[in-house]
Amino acid sequence: MVSSDQSAAGLPYGCLARRLTTHADARGALAEVFRHQWFDTPSPARWVSIQSQANVLRGVYLHSAAWTYLCLLGGRVFIGLHDMRPAAATAHQGFLVAPDAMDRLAIAIPPGIAHGLYCPEGAMHLSATSAADAAHALLLCRWNCPELKIDWPCTAPILDPAEAAADNYVDFAARYGARAAGPAA
């Protein structure tokens, strides 16, 4: 269900976004971060809370069969996206979204769109997938492959060892293509 306050401008085709409403009072602030009715997508099966230090880049990840949900809770991030779906209107295009904590943005990313997050300062976000075992089906691409067409605002981010050893784009695309095609008959 796409509500009137969802905006997918600046995102790959099929991505859904929703600006969250923050309710503040003398005690602090409250924001609802997910409601199934907001997105006409499969329900999240697993949520994780992720805290990142300054200059950390997470990804670039790709789920070939699961939706990904992201919600920034605090700090500042740049969300890089690359559409791997060959028939999509935004196929092979790169995107960089820069919400800050004041934007309170929730994004639903369909299968086939690679994504990563760069944190120029400390940040906290929630991440979910529509399949509880999606981590086993995760593909990784080296963050700085020019084919991603993501103009990251960094040159030497802190990476997880698996992310530092991730596939180049050609191998990444081949692995995705094999998974997207399904098992051989």
Q: Give the whole-angstrom CA distance, residue 71 versus residue 20.
A: 9
Q: How many CB atoms lie within 10 A of CB 91?
A: 14
pLDDT digits (tens, 9 = 90+) for 129-167: 998 776 667 899 999 999 999 999 999 999 999 999 999
Q: What confidence score (pLDDT) does residue 180 get?
A: 75
Judge contact between 47 and 128, C-beta under 8 A. yes
CATH superfamily of 16-180: Jelly Rolls (2.60.120.10)
Full-model pTM: 0.89
Q: Give the whole-angstrom CA distance, residue 147 versus residue 161.
A: 22
Judge contact between 45 and 51, C-beta under 8 A. no
The domain locations on the chain are 16-180
Give, in order, the Cα–Cα distances in Å from 158 to each of 70, 138, 150, 155, 163. 20, 20, 17, 10, 10
Element (H, E) at 170: helix 169-181
**9 pLDDT band (50/70/90 cuts)?**
low
Q: Tell me the mean pLDDT in the region 78-102.
A: 90
